[in-house]
A and B are shown apart, each in its own frame.
Chain A
């Protein structure tokens, strides 16, 4: 097949990718969008296989390619089918790692297999550096999400930032060496090694609660790595696709930072709520003001309610109570109660995670409301049920300028007539600060395990009717 034909097929594939992402603008068209993207990928791969360079490479070359594709496809399929929805952040972290790793490997392959031009060598340096940072950074993120080796808290040490800066300079130094003399593969190996260390150092300083930002950022890096590989190969489709993914990751990173009211720099150095700032003592906030309730009492409240809003946080997913919450909502709806779900942007462990978890529990997507949509409706809400969420409903963010989370956008549940908080204890959330909502006049605390509490509540509501 001629290069012109192949390039035209690549162009068609690029258009399919863009149409595919556009399909994701609505749940109705999203499945088809994903199919379009997959079709584009298949086209691009088939066109590449028909490239005379590949097709004419002899039986052994073709055999290697088929083996690689079969192996990768089998692993990918197993991962995709087995992964639990709660572990989706880990899945994306692994995919980010592989994307970055593949880019660094391809750049290395081009370096040893051809005599790259100066321009291509610069791109090889970019691809190798971004790729290796993405690879190890994503593996660290994976580890933190799983809670395997590294602590959840940010790992910081004195001189960390200067060290990162220095490593960056060293990497660029090896890069410059490679550009001057592209035959020095040692320089590339050293570049990748330094990049790998840098990836680890840049990610261990990010706290477990900030992983949504880290994952979105690494997603962007994996796209940029692919785009650099496009510059290495002078290949348009890699550049187009890589920049789409790069843009997507940056947009999501910005959304996540805004939802936590933190700057990206602040997230990266892991400096959450400096501990020496005097925060209010938990006792003075809660003393004598916290009202404990029972499932029966809440059932009576729900009996007269016309509108109920469920406010899930990550704790809901931890106790796997999504299905029970949906059952409770179904019982309420069967009695004519309007039920909606309020989803804070950082309610899960990655952008949009909570929506997926609730969709898995068969909640109609029309009932999943974004923060800006649902906040004006809390004033007309009879009962809000907060389950497994803490900082994202803390009114201090709105009212107390001295609070470490001051200015963070929150769900205004305190404005509803009654608030039920389902929680094990009064322990603080990620920000480590007390929550005045729990001591609010209209708040009732239902202490216990999330899943059991919702089950009890559903039974009590049924008995009441």
Chain B
């Protein structure tokens, strides 16, 4: 239990930071916010990499499947967000 409290502390503080930052995102950009936050939630890719490097065969299989899914999230999420955001222009 010795790591639980520090982790919980980080979790709670991050939730507050999240609320502060995200309430300032205008409705204009809510769709890119969703796809962009999807991309960063692909951070699970880190856990997938660690699992895929395990000596245990079943862990590698599960890790590989997770790695593919999480990478789709990361690459697909950032690219589609970039595609959308570059359409928001101001004409002169």
Check A245/B38 contact, CB under 8 A, given A68-B71, A76-B76.
yes
Complex contact A103–B44 (CB within 8 A): yes
> How many angstroms between the C-alpha atoms of A351 and B36 in the bound complex?
13
Complex contact A230–B68 (CB within 8 A): no
Q: Contacts of A244 on B, CB cut-off 8 Å?
A: 14, 17-18, 21-22, 37, 40
Complex contact A21–B60 (CB within 8 A): no
Which A-B residue pairs are the 7 nearest by beta carbons?
A: A72-B71, A352-B30, A247-B18, A113-B59, A76-B75, A76-B76, A68-B67
Instruction: List which B29-83 residues lie within 8 A (CB) of chain A.
Output: 29-56, 58-60, 62-83
Q: A8: CB under 8 A from chain B?
A: no
> How many angstroms between the C-alpha atoms of A226 and B46 in the bound complex?
11
Looking at A41-49, A274-282, A417-425, the stretch in contact with chain B turns out to be A41-49
Which of B31, B33, B89 has the most chain A CB atoms inside 10 A of its CB?
B31
Looking at A262-270, A360-368, A402-410, the stretch in contact with chain B turns out to be A360-368
Q: Contacts of B1 on A, CB cut-off 8 Å?
A: 118-119
Q: Contacts of A252 on B, CB cut-off 8 Å?
A: 30, 33-34
> How many angstroms between the C-alpha atoms of A61 and B47 in the bound complex?
14
Residues of B within 8 A of A (CB): 1, 3-4, 7, 10-11, 14-15, 17-19, 21-56, 58-60, 62-91
Which of B38, B58, B65 sits near A95, CB closer than 8 Å?
A: B38
Which of B18, B36, B56 sits near A246, CB closer than 8 Å?
A: B18
Complex contact A91–B37 (CB within 8 A): no
Check A44/B85 contact, CB under 8 A, given A105-B69, A109-B66, A113-B54.
no
> How many angstroms between the C-alpha atoms of A355 and B33 in the bound complex?
12
Return 6 A-B CB contacts under 8 Å, by A number. Answer: A30-B29, A98-B72, A241-B40, A243-B15, A248-B33, A350-B31
> How many angstroms between the C-alpha atoms of A79 and B75 in the bound complex?
9
Q: Contacts of A232 on B, CB cut-off 8 Å?
A: 47
Complex contact B27–A37 (CB within 8 A): no
Instruction: List which A329-384 residues lie within 8 A (CB) of chain B.
Output: 343, 345, 348, 350-353, 355-356, 359-360, 362, 364-366, 368, 370
Q: Contacts of B34 on A, CB cut-off 8 Å?
A: 92, 215-216, 219, 248-249, 252, 350-352
Complex contact A245–B56 (CB within 8 A): no
> How many angstroms between the C-alpha atoms of A249 and B4 in the bound complex?
25
Complex contact A355–B28 (CB within 8 A): yes
> How many angstroms between the C-alpha atoms of A235 and B11 in the bound complex?
11
Q: Contacts of B22 on A, CB cut-off 8 Å?
A: 21, 244, 247-248, 251
Q: A432: CB under 8 A from chain B?
A: no
Complex contact A65–B81 (CB within 8 A): no
Q: Does more than half of chain B's interface fall in helix, strand or loop, or is it mixed?
A: helix
Complex contact A368–B43 (CB within 8 A): no
Instruction: List which A174-233 residues lie within 8 A (CB) of chain B.
Output: 215-216, 219, 222-223, 225-227, 229-233
Q: Does more than half of chain A's interface fall in helix, strand or loop, or is it mixed?
A: helix
Q: Contacts of A73 on B, CB cut-off 8 Å?
A: 71-72, 75
Chain B, residue nearest A227 (CB): B11
* Closest Cβ–Cβ distance, residue A394 to chain B (whole Å): 20
Complex contact B53–A365 (CB within 8 A): no
Q: A38: CB under 8 A from chain B?
A: yes
Complex contact A119–B4 (CB within 8 A): yes
Which of A18, A72, A79, A219 sits near B17, CB closer than 8 Å?
A: A18
Complex contact A113–B58 (CB within 8 A): yes
Which of B4, B80, B90 has the most chain A CB atoms inside 10 A of its CB?
B80
Q: Contacts of B56 on A, CB cut-off 8 Å?
A: 112-113
Looking at A51-59, A154-162, A288-296, A312-320, the stretch in contact with chain B turns out to be A51-59
Which of A27, A49, A226 sits near B41, CB closer than 8 Å?
A: A226
Instruction: List which A88-123 residues lie within 8 A (CB) of chain B.
Output: 88, 91-92, 95-96, 98-99, 101-103, 105-106, 108-110, 112-113, 118-119
* Closest Cβ–Cβ distance, residue B13 to chain A (whole Å): 9
Q: A149: CB under 8 A from chain B?
A: no
Complex contact B73–A76 (CB within 8 A): yes
Q: Contacts of B36 on A, CB cut-off 8 Å?
A: 20-21, 24, 33-34, 37
Q: Contacts of A67 on B, CB cut-off 8 Å?
A: 64
Complex contact B42–A102 (CB within 8 A): yes
Chain A, residue nearest B81 (CB): A34
Complex contact A106–B44 (CB within 8 A): yes
Which of A51, A85, A109 sits near B51, CB closer than 8 Å?
A: A109
Complex contact A359–B62 (CB within 8 A): no
* Closest Cβ–Cβ distance, residue A149 to chain B (whole Å): 22
Q: A77: CB under 8 A from chain B?
A: yes
* Closest Cβ–Cβ distance, residue B40 to chain A (whole Å): 5
Q: A238: CB under 8 A from chain B?
A: yes
Complex contact A108–B15 (CB within 8 A): no
Chain A, residue nearest B48 (CB): A106
